[in-house]
Amino acid sequence: MTRLAVIANGVPPESPGERAALAACDGCVCCDRLPPAGAPPLAQVVGDGDSLRGAVPESLLHRESEQETCDLAKAIRWCRRHAPGARLDYFAVLGRRMDHTLANLAHVYETAAEASVFGNDGRFDLFPAGEHALALRPGGAVSLISLRPQRVTARGLAWPVEDLPLASLWRATLNRAVDPLLRLRCEAPIFVYRPWDGC
């Protein structure tokens, strides 16, 4: 499966884990920006052009002037049209402005597709509704975050999450891994957050 890095305009990849994940991608789609150092080959720059700094060949530039959605949403749409089978991993969607961070996470969540959001402090792994398994580092911090009300079961954590109703963002956060494998059952998409020392 092709992995595309979708690179927004937040804090650029700096941590070793984030840089390694970026290097493992097959290509990148940038949100109104040029690729950062260490990025895979550029597939496209997508956005309205209001924050683009530097020259981009016209063949690699896809402009959408509408202002109803942000550049990240435009990049996701471009990827779904031009690389429908690709796995999307997200970089530089966190940091700089907190409102952008929340909006960007919401856009990724709405895709309901398996993906990862990488930041300098850790990573969010998005899982669609269903049953999943994820390798954990025992003792590492783990948070489950849902942007929709749902019931979740997660095994391998210190504090029980058994058919737990998630009606608010904080409900299943601040847990800890006790097993090397998280077994997860969710009714809707869910983020699993782990700091880098817990991956």
pLDDT tens-place string over residues 12-21: 899 999 999 9
182 in the same domain as 91 = no
162 in the same domain as 101 = no
Sign of the alpha-carbon dihedral angle for 43, 49, 53, 54:
positive
Strand, helix or coil at 177?
A: strand
Q: DSSP H helical segments within 48-158, as ranges?
A: 71-82, 98-111
What pLDDT is stored for residue 50 in this prediction? 76
25 in the same domain as 91 = yes
103 in the same domain as 35 = yes
Q: What are phi and psi of 184, to 5 degrees?
A: -125, 135
Q: What are phi and psi of 29, to 5 degrees?
A: -120, 120
What pLDDT is stored for residue 115 in this prediction? 97
88 in the same domain as 60 = yes
175 in the same domain as 84 = no
Residues of the chain with pLDDT under 50: none
DSSP conformation class of 55 = -
Q: Measuring CA to CA, which residue among 1, 17, 2, 49 is closest to residue 117?
A: 17
What pLDDT is stored for residue 43 in this prediction? 82
What pLDDT is stored for residue 142 in this prediction? 98
Sheet strands (E) in the chain: 3-7, 27-31, 42-47, 61-63, 87-91, 115-118, 122-127, 130-135, 141-145, 150-155, 161-166, 172-176, 181-186, 190-195
Cα angle 177, 126, 171; round to 5: 55
Looking at 68, 95, 119, which one is the last position of a domain?
Answer: 119
104 in the same domain as 8 = yes
106 in the same domain as 37 = yes
What pLDDT is stored for residue 147 in this prediction? 96
CATH of the domain at 64: 3.40.50.10240
For residue 173, what are its two tokens?
């956060």
pTM of the model: 0.91
140 in the same domain as 110 = no
Task: Give the DSSP H or E segment for 22.
Answer: helix 16-23
132 in the same domain as 109 = no
Looking at 87, 119, 151, which one is the last position of a domain?
Answer: 119
Looking at 59, 89, 119, which one is the last position of a domain?
Answer: 119
What pLDDT is stored for residue 58 in this prediction? 75
Range of the domain at 191: 127-198
164 in the same domain as 85 = no
What pLDDT is stored for residue 33 in this prediction? 82
What gap in Å lies between CA 94 and CA 121, rounded to an integer? 10
What pLDDT is stored for residue 198 in this prediction? 74
What pLDDT is stored for residue 32 in this prediction? 83
End-to-end distance of the chain based on CA atoms, in angstroms? 22
What gap in Å lies between CA 99 and CA 16, rounded to an integer? 26
Number of independent structural domains in the chain: 2
Strand, helix or coil at 107?
A: helix
184 in the same domain as 111 = no
